[in-house]
Amino acid sequence: MSEDVVTMDKIVALCKRRGFIFASSEIYGGLGSTYDYGHYGVLLKTNVKNEWWRAMLQERDDIVALDSAILQHPDVWKASGHLAGFTDPMVDCRTCKARFRADHIAERQPGIVCPKKPSKVPGEGPDCDLTEARDFNLMFKTNVGPVESTSSVAYLRPETAQGIFINFKNVLQFARKKPPFGIAQVGKSFRNEITPGNFIFRTREFEQMEMEFFVPPAEAPQWYATWKQIRFDWYTRLGIRPAGLRLREHEADELSHYSSGTADVEYLFPIGWSELEGIANRGDFDLSAHAAESRTKLEYFDPGSGERYVPHVIEPAAGADRATLAFLVDAYDEEQVDGELRTVLKLHPRLAPVKVAVLPLVKKDGQPDIAKEIVASLRGLMQTEYDEGGAIGKRYRRQDEIGTPYCVTVDHETLTERTVTVRDRDSMAQERVAIDDLPALLAGRLAQPWSSPKLG
């Protein structure tokens, strides 16, 4: 992928220019590492989440959905180990007042540089004066109720997984499932990161797509291997080029104390190889910990064999924001067309924020009326946009930049022949199509298999 023209700066600029993502609280100078999603960003990230739900629920019959609360009993985080162990080692520079994670400095991670001398790692610059490392808990603390006291302390959840574990018994009672089965959830999480950055790759408020798959203990290794491949394939099916993906197994010294195996789906971002999703064999740690803390049995009884056991858990955990960023990066392309630079997002049509844009060639002669009639016929079938502002070439370029797969142009011939021009985003090929045939034709093309044109 070294031939790619994409950089993080280009992605940030495109997202701002075309209304995908903005810095939050921008008119007040911003708030560190928080972002607001604009219209096209909302549509794109919603499509990413919908494709995840499709893979978890529509394409399987062994997973059910959950939406747990962001605020949970503080003992949840005591049992899970987050109160005692969810910390990062933090150092401050007495000279420039910047703050860094000590482990990121030691690993010389990309982007960890001295603010006063970017060619140096923090601590190696001539003016650097770093403090000793000290632990810093990543959970955001708040209070429940009108009075602030130690008894009212609560936390914004740092992950969605614990909401699934504490609802295991509820789901088991209503869902009529038995292991192996999964509980899936999409929702916001919050981490008071020491060194967030690289746009939406690492933020303090983010959205997770997590599934906990409960299995008989003896089947855990088999399901761990299965889910690693399933989750890797999900990204390639949605258009990410295989050369930019890898599945990296964690070394023994990287594993959490409860994990017998963890692997990351990593993507080659402009900042280097970084985690998109983690798949972990968590054993029975979570259910056992919550059972002990709550004094509630969290186990499965098999009426056929009479056996009782605490299921083991395989956890695929992905970030919706990171996935959105990866799809943007992989889709970004620049081409020379008739001596001009064309910037285009070659997104999988299922992910594209807008599927079809309808464009009247001119704003007269009844063309806008026919265009709006076409929009009305398509709107219930697919995300459709009407665009009449500016020259037709500029409108094509605008739609290219937001990744719209098809543009439908109404022109003078439409008035007499009831036909329109359909333009393909990737090939820029155009063909004449009858208006009455448009809904079926476009729906059929959007449903066809697709692979990135950047594969050549």
Binding-site residues from annotation for ATP? 191-193, 201-206, 275-276, 319-322
Could you tell me which residues are annotated as the binding site?
101, 159, 191-193, 201-210, 275-276, 315-322
- Check residue 374 and give left, alpha or beta (phi > 0: left; psi -120 to 50: alpha): alpha
Could you tell me the two tokens for 120? 């140096």
Could you tell me which of 202, 206, 170 has the C-alpha nearest to residue 189?
206
* Burial of 8 (C-beta count, 10 Å sphere; 0-12/13-18/19+): middle
How far is residue 322 from each of residues 51, 58, 254, 455, measured CA to CA in Å? 15, 23, 21, 22
Could you tell me which residues are annotated as the binding site for substrate?
101, 159, 206-210, 315-319
Q: Which residues neighbour 60 within 8 Å (Cβ) at sequence distance 6 or greater?
A: 182
- Check residue 295 and give left, alpha or beta (phi > 0: left; psi -120 to 50: alpha): left
Alpha-carbon distance of 220 to 224, in angstroms, equals 6
Q: Are strands 99-101 and 87-92 parallel, antiparallel or unpaired?
A: antiparallel
Could you tell me which of 346, 347, 350 has the C-alpha nearest to residue 333?
346
Residue 6 contacts residue 332 (beta carbons within 8 Å): yes
Site of tokens 């009305």: 376
